[in-house]
Amino acid sequence: MKIVDVDYAGACLFYLVFDDGYSGHVNLKTYLSEAVYKSIGDIQHFSLTKNGSLKWDNIELSAKELRCVVIKGDLYKVESLNDTSMETIIKQAAWDSMQEGRPDILQAAIRAYVEQFGHSNVIAKAGIKSRTSAYRSLKPDTSPSFQTLVQLGNAVIQLAQQEKKA
C-alpha cells in the first residue's frame, strides 16, 4: 500500500490518495502532539517517499498507518487505531454511519481492522465462504450487506481478544 498523492489542507489536515484509488482526509493533530513527533518543525515541509509514506526530516508515517485513520469524504473523529479502543471506534463509526446515512463510515472502520489483522485471517474467522465477496464488500464505493459487515466486525473483535490474551 502506498500514498500516491498528498495535499496539505491546513491546520494539521492532509488529503491523501492511495495507490488503490482510496482517498480522504486525515487529521494529524494527535500524532503531532506526541513527544516523538515534536521534532517536526514546519508541518508543511514534508515529502512523499518512494515507498509511499509521508516524511518530515527523519520522522516517517507509513501509508498503512495513515490508511487506518482516513475515512473517505469525512473528517472522522478517531485519530489513531492504536490510541483508541476498538469498541470506541466501532461504536463511533456505527453511530456516525446511522446519523449521516452513510454506511461507508462503518465499512471503513471495519476495513481498517481487517487490514490490521489480515484479510485471510479475518475472512477465515468470520466463516465467509466467498473470499471474493468478502474483499468486494470492503472496497470503497461498494455497498456491502449489513450481515457481512457484522460477520467481519465480529471476526476482528475475536482476533483482537485472542491477541490480547497472548
Q: What angle do CA 90, 85, 101 make, to 5 degrees?
A: 20
Render pLDDT for 40-64 as a digit per residue (tens, 0 to 9): 878 888 899 988 999 988 888 888 8
The model carries a pTM of 0.53
Q: Categorize the per-residue pLDDT at 80 as very low, low, confident or very high, splitting at 50, 70 and 90.
A: very low
Q: How far apart are alpha carbons 110 and 61 in whole angstroms?
A: 21
Render pLDDT for 131-146 as a digit per residue (tens, 0 to 9): 888 888 888 778 888 8
State the cell numbers at 102.
452513510
Q: How far apart are alpha carbons 69 and 13 in whole angstroms?
A: 12
pLDDT value for 71? 55
